[in-house]
Copies of this chain bind each other. A is one copy, B any other.
């Protein structure tokens, strides 16, 4: 009988321990579930672009993935294979039909894409734009480079390279707004802050390497005292580089370019291009996912404005020179 009693006591003891433990567990669970930044793997966020295969998107996607890993959610990458807005519309329609947790979109034709973007927002799917905006759409936010400011940075770097003195030119793509803005920021800054410098010529290379080379040669002939050229896009930069290389004037003419294509990086490595401006593409991807997660989870609310997201996040530029060029080759 005594033995039996002992066993019963043990049983009761274990039961009490078990109940106690169960309650502790519940308390712990409640505390942890308060972490609002814990997603689940069945939450899928989608990045949609055009020309999906180009290197340019790789860093943006890496940022998107890094945020997904930190927040414990899933991501997908979709888009048009070509520079074709109709293909992008089809892809975006397919993505919307699957009701993802959020979509980050970049587009080369906002007008054509606006109705589809708005359809997603109206269906309750969070949408942000990155890299290239659709300003008249209902997307909640835009994350990308402020092109005017990028031009300002280019001007400061050019002034540093030239010791604040000399004639400079710009090779750009006059038909596109982002290139006009880069040119304007460059011009305004030289005019305002560097009285011993002057922008003597602005020519359009139409985004083409050969044409950019040609207009640079014209510019050099017209302004033999030219000390520097700012190319507002990568093909143009390589074209300017070839003109300067062919004329053997690498020591007297400094080039600043844009973006970090292999051709541009190689010319920096060779000392033909002095510097290029790298856009903050990783940041576009990382903060796009953070923003979408905030909307999808309803983490916080700005009482006055509803959406907690800023209208615009300027992802900035980083100046790449011979010293840090190795960091920018794809790994």
Enumerate chain A interface residues (CB-CB to B < 8 A).
Answer: 3-4, 7-8, 10-11, 14-15, 17-18, 21, 25, 28-29, 32, 34-38, 59, 63, 66-67, 70-72, 143, 146, 149, 278, 280, 282-283, 286-287, 290, 299-300, 302-305, 308-316, 318, 327-328, 331
Contacts and interface: CB of A to CB of B under 8 A. Distances in A.
Contacts of A305: 280, 282-283, 318
B327 A304 contact: yes
Contacts of A310: 143, 280, 283, 287, 313-316
Contact of A35 (B8, B37, B66, B302): B37
The interface centre, meaning the residue of A34, A303, A311 with most chain B CB atoms within 10 A of its CB, is A311
Contacts of A304: 59, 278, 282, 318, 327-328
Contacts of A25: 25
Contacts of A67: 300
Given A4-B4, A327-B303, A70 B21 contact: no
A67 to B, nearest CB: 7
A287 B310 CA distance: 9
Contact of A308 (B10, B283, B327): B283
11 contacts: A7-B11, A11-B14, A25-B25, A32-B35, A32-B38, A34-B72, A70-B300, A287-B310, A290-B290, A303-B327, A310-B313
A149 B36 CA distance: 33
Contacts of A311: 314-316
Most buried by B among A3, A59, A304: A304
B315 A303 contact: no
Nearest to A71: B37
Given A21-B21, A38-B37, A72-B34, A300 B313 contact: no
A165 B32 CA distance: 58
Nearest to A70: B36
Nearest to A69: B300
A66 B301 CA distance: 9
Contacts of A29: 28
A286 B36 CA distance: 15
Given A59-B304, A310-B315, A310-B316, A32 B32 contact: yes
Contacts of A7: 4, 7-8, 11
Contacts of A312: 146, 149, 313-314, 316
A26 to B, nearest CB: 12
